Structure 1
Amino acid sequence: MSSSGLPDLTSRQLETVLALAEYGSFIAAAALLKTSQPAVTRTVKHVEEVLGLKLFDRSTRSVQITAAGKEFVGVAARMLNDLKITIRSMRELSDQRRGQIIISSIMSVANGRLPGLVSAYRLDHPGIELHVRDGVHGAVMEDVRSGAADFGITYLDDLPDPFMSVPLGKEEFTVVLPRHHELAKKKSLALSDLKGAPLVSLPSDSRTRRVIDSAASSIGLTLNHVVTVSQFATMLGFVRAGIGLAIAPKSGVASFLGKELSAVPVRGRPLARDLGVITLREREPSPAAAGLMSLLRSSWNKP
């Protein structure tokens, strides 16, 4: 224990605990960390002694993380993420030509608008390394909250207080269906046109699905979700196979349509959501991240 009363633990020791928690094997953790199995064993034992808690239950056949271990791993991961972001930010202050940006984005943006904007950014900043984490709205918020991402691109409705946002534009919805389908000839479709039609959809807890179901419920319609998937590419694969239709964000499916699929706009009650960049109020973005966010704001609605 240090004079400040804080546990005297290094980032390497925290990384060792995280590796063992992830892989559940001393051998695998040692391989990941490029060290020996006895070294991993000693490190984990030292951390447990410093904390006065048992983080793992060990047997001859398995390693199981304890309840205390799960709680410690969550805190340790956030600490290491914040440390990495701080170190990266300091380096970028001394040399803005190099650095790393981690973006967390909802899938429709990651599949649609984002690649072109990232390409434009890299033309002027070839030394900046970019990582894109794509997922659902809740995952984007957690990435930003935990420090796993520099900023997020997601929906701006119902954001909790720790976040601040900058609007980018609206995301509109479309019905995706096989090109030979009878509804593909329509110039637009109302949700009521889809009554009874089999749908391939995202999970019921996704923000996209909730918005669609809410719009249908407002007109007394219950949609017929027959297949649930977690990715847009998978969704359109099932539509292409003729299993059902899909209601999806226009920008998220445009690049997947090809010759076999058509997209028809949804009319009537507007299915549209406000999109924007989210950050934490107390976390200052790195110069590189701030530069990319500025490009997103200025270029989002340009062709």
Structure 2
Amino acid sequence: MIRLLQFISDNGDYSDVCINRASMPPVFPDLSSRQLQAVLALAKYRSFVAAASSLKISQPALTRTIKLIEIELGVPLFSRSTRRVTVTDAGQEFAALAERLLNDLRIGAENVREMAAHPRGQITVASVVSLAGAVLPSLIADYSRRFPGIELHLREGLHHMVMDEIRNGMADFGIGYVDDAPRSFVTEGLGVETFHLVMCRDHALARRTRIGLPALAGVPLVSFPAESRTRHIVDRAATAAGLSFHYVTTTNRLPTLHELVRNGVGLAVVPKSERPSPDDPDLTSLPLVGQGLSCRVGIMRLGERELTAAAAQFLNVVRNWWRASRHDSDRKNPRYSSGSVVNNSG
């Protein structure tokens, strides 16, 4: 079937065009927001001159745009006499549709920009206790102030618990000891953790400047559980040196460990970032030195799991803090200075 349509020519006159219904335009016309604006402008001003002026384009350009739109739709939207342009019934219907589409597009774009500026979502981070207590609270506080729409969950525990949280998908990523991470993990080294011996200020060993492993032989010790990474590293170093230590109590909580030392139950070996504050009235700590008494700290995540935008953003916060931390002085942050975790990025 042949259908006769009139279209505006470049000089503003209408010409008759025959369209075969078998070659009618597709269900979803290929129209831009600029073309929709052209329809609205011409429907509003009923003048090619005024409409073109409002769009800041030439009249011939507007004429061509309208002609292309009508060809794409397969119907005339406007008719023109010698005096004025009138809107056809189809044109009125399409102009209303164009206005709705443009409004929806504008609102949608604003919402997307708002989401980018103020993202929403949830992040779960697993961390070994030493870093969870020493580093992450200040980072989380800063991140939450910048992105209040992100709900951040911190799951802290011993090293093997952190790896389990990552492996089973509970955590987006983890921060811990990366030396023995499984092959399914993607790791990123951040630094090297060293260890301190915690004791009461009046203990005989407190007069030294550093402590070697042999000094702990026969001394009652309190520690994290045997499966903890700290305990594993200390025991392995002791075995390599031909030593064995006497553990009297274990706990999986750092505050409890400090209180056990404070009450004279024993001494404790902890990562440097878990040592007591320099202004603690009762406790002090000294570096524990010996072969094998260090471990690499870093970021771990499942290789097959892509990070969400929010998780990737917080991961960058962690990275940036670590890079900056090597420039912090003990005076500025005495507990968590660059000496606590030595950056190995060069």
TM-score range, shorter chain: 0.5 to 0.7
Out of 195, 206, 211, the position equivalent to 2:228 is 206
Whole-angstrom CA distance in 2 between matches of 1:277 and 1:100: 19
State the TM-score, normalized to the length of structure 1: 0.66
1:1-303 matched pairs, under 5 angstroms: 95-96=115-116, 97-255=119-277, 258-301=280-323, 302=325, 303=328
Q: Is the 8 A contact 1:141 1:152 kept in 2?
A: yes
CA 1:267–1:98 in structure 2 vs 1: closer, same or farther (change >3 Å)? same
User: Percent identity, aligned pairs only?
Assistant: 41
Seen in structure 2, the aligned counterparts of structure 1 residues 233 and 119 have a Cα distance that, compared at 3 Å, is same
The 1:205–1:270 alpha-carbon spacing in structure 2 relative to 1, beyond 3 Å, is closer
- Number of positions where the alignment pairs a residue of Structure 1 with one of Structure 2: 213
Give, in angstroms, the shift of residue 256 of structure 1.
9.3
Displacement, 1:121? Answer: 2.3
SS at match of 2:313: helix
Whole-Å Cα distance in 2 between the matches of residues 123 and 191 of structure 1?
A: 44
How many angstroms apart in 1 are the aligned matches of 2:113 and 2:237?
Answer: 47
Q: Output the CA distance in 2 between the equivalents of 1:256 and 1:93.
A: 46
Deviations 1:170-194 (A, max 9, x none): 1110000011111112111101111
Shift of 1:108: 0.8
Higher RCO, 1 vs 2 (CA within 8 Å, ≥6 residues apart): 1
CA contact (8 A) 1:112 1:255 kept: no
Question: Which runs of 5 or more structure 1 residues have no equivalent in the other structure?
Answer: 1-91
Name the Cα RMSD after superposition: 2.1
Q: List runs of 5+ in structure 2 lacking aligned partners.
A: 1-111, 329-346
Q: Runs of 4 or more off by more than 6 Å in structure 1?
A: none
Q: CA deviation at 1:270?
A: 4.9
Larger helix proportion of the pair: 1
Indicate if the aligned counterparts of 1:195 and 1:224 stay in contact, CA closer than 8 A: yes
Q: Which has the larger radius of gyration?
A: 2
Q: CA deviation at 1:269?
A: 2.2
**Alpha carbons 1:174, 1:249 under 8 Å: kept:** yes
- Which stretch of the first structure deviates more once superposed, 278-287 or 246-255? 246-255
